[in-house]
Amino acid sequence: MEMTLLLNTTYEPLRVVNWKKAITLLCQDKVEVLEFYERDIRGVTITFKLPSVMRLLKVVKFRSTPRAVKFSRINIFTRDKYTCQYCWKKFRTEDLTFDHVVPIARGGKKTWENIATACWRCNNKKSGRTPAEAHMRLKKKPEKPRWNPTLTIMIGIRHAPNSWRDYLYWHMELDMDD
Ligand SMILES: [Zn+2]
């Protein structure tokens, strides 16, 4: 599904919206389009280019209910910035795994608070032990991420279209080396 990056009036990334929402905002004259996707969207009566980056023309209030960040592999790596939480080195996705801080066999749960990003080496070294038993310290206590638009955009960034990059570049730390 094609998504549109929505910037606020001062060109900062605000959120990512689906194409239907993008078209609605456009029809309401609330936005200007800065970039389009190459591909056309064919409607029943009209064909149009899908906006890839849009900027709000005035401040718009969005639904403020916080949404939970989905508990998934990619989101855990994003939370931990692709960094092993034991040796504090950065790795590529394929060289990372999860560590259950308190091992499942010892009653540990599959929750944000009990899962940390680890490299294979540290994960093997720690094995089925707790950090204290393995004499390995977590650099940071794992926490459940609170929803915020920037985090949501960061989570999607690995698959972000090229046309977004100029707009995201100045505002957040990117990790797009693969
Ligand atoms: Zn490590």
Residue 166 CA to ligand 1 centre (angstroms)? 32
Report the alpha-carbon distance of residue 9 to residue 15 in Å, rounded.
Answer: 13
CA 13 to chain centre: 13
79: CA distance to ligand 1 center in Å? 16
The pLDDT assigned to 13 comes to 78
CA of 108 to the centre of ligand 1 (A): 20
| 88 CA from centroid of ligand 1 (Å) | 6
Give the per-residue pLDDT at 72.
Answer: 78
* Dist. CA 90 → ligand 1 center (Å): 8
What domains can you pick out in the chain, each with its CATH number?
Answer: 3-65+148-169 (no CATH), 73-134 (1.10.30.50)
Q: Which residues contact 5 (CB under 8 A, 6 or more apart)?
A: 13, 16, 52, 53, 54, 153, 160, 164, 167, 168
| pLDDT at position 176 | 38
CA–centroid distance, 137 to ligand 1, in Å, is 11
pLDDT at 177 over 50: no
Any idea which of 2-11, 54-63, 108-117, 162-171 has the lowest mean pLDDT? 162-171
Do 99 and 116 form a contact (C-beta atoms < 8 A)? Answer: yes
Cα 125 to averaged position of ligand 1 atoms, centre (Å): 9
What are 9-28's pLDDT values in tens digits? 888 778 888 888 898 999 99
Give the Cβ contact number of residue 96 at 10 Å. Answer: 21
Could you count the other beta carbons within 10 Å of the beta carbon of residue 63?
6
Distance 8 CA to ligand 1 centre (A): 38
Residue 85 C-alpha to ligand 1 middle, in angstroms?
Answer: 7
What's the DSSP call for residue 162?
A: H
Q: What is the DSSP string of 33-92?
A: EEEEEEEEEE-SS-EEEEEEEEEESS------PPPPPP--HHHHHHHTTTB-TTT--B--
pLDDT in tens, 51-105: 999 999 987 666 555 566 777 787 788 889 899 999 999 999 889 999 999 999 9
Task: Please tell me the predicted confidence (pLDDT) of residue 44.
Answer: 75
Q: So what's the pLDDT on residue 125?
A: 97
Q: pTM of whole model > 0.85?
A: no
- 48-60 in b/e form (b: 16+ CB < 10 A) is eebbbbbbbeeee
Which pLDDT belongs to residue 175? 41
Residues, Cβ < 5 Å to ion ligand 1: 84, 86-87, 119, 122
Residue 55: closest CA among 27, 33, 24, 25: 33
Higher pLDDT, 130 or 41: 130
Mean pLDDT of the chain: 82
Tokens of 132: 């204290």
